[in-house]
Structure 1
Amino acid sequence: MNKEVQYIITTLQGSLDGDPWYGRSLYAILKEVEPASVFINPDEKGHALIEILYHMIAWAEAVQSTLEGDTQKQISYYEALDWREIDPTIHTWKNGVNELKATHRRILELLQSKNDDFLASPVSQRTYTIGYMLHGLIQHNIYHQGQIAYVKKLLD
């Protein structure tokens, strides 16, 4: 049985490129961002859009790695990528959006073959389950989606 897994897949897909009840999807908002503005930090306390995007990528990649059963990359690997130094020659908006989408495609693909029992599995080096982590990914995406929409509006 994979009723809960299917719920997670549907919820994640809807928040990424569906029609969520709270507003526009993440990919719709990312598409509206002017690449020329992504390196601008609207205030010294926050983050530029590019920093938020690559922060989201780091944790989506951590989820993907967990689902793939990758034991080579420790959580410290992803923690080092969290709020990383942005190199404008490497970390472009287009590259980041493509990377975020590819990572989420892979997560959704991996979930297709899982059953609900899998969600109770512990996450290595953490005190929570894979189910909790997946719900956390959805919440994390929505949280930063709101930030991106807000910062975008400040820069428009």
Structure 2
Amino acid sequence: MSQASTTHTDFVIEREYGVSPQAVFTAWADPAAKKRWSDCHEDFTTHYELDFRPHGRESHHVDYPDGRRQRIEKIFFDIEEGRRIVFAYDIEVDGRRLSVSLVTVEFTPTPHGTKMLYIEQLAYLDGHEDREIRIRGTEEGLDRLGLQLSAFPRPN
């Protein structure tokens, strides 16, 4: 049996969206909207569920064609309507937990819409490390969020 190990890292992503903080927040809170922009494995998703409230959960399960199974489980700890979301999540592949993260998402009004900060603190477990892939995947999801939000009317 190998010795357990943990490594830590973090990253911050900033985005500007041309809609109100409430519109951006709603895209996180609405299950159908959230699935559209956050699901990067849509063809292989076997389960998606969102219970958006403090101590509510989000579950995302993917079965890949090569037989691998990925499970992402989230729990929401703090939700301030239109202002902030704090949640933790873990990623498991084939029954092996790869990482556990704490995420804070902040929404700040700007003259042109919303500045959104996404701050993730990660604990990688037992030798797993995919920081650059994780950042890229998160950025791609937030880019899809921006495309989805571009259909909303601009704030006055």
**TM-score, normalization: structure 1?**
0.36
TM-score w.r.t. length of structure 2 = 0.36
Q: Which is strand-richer, 1 or 2?
A: 2
Whichever structure has more helix as a proportion of its residues is 1
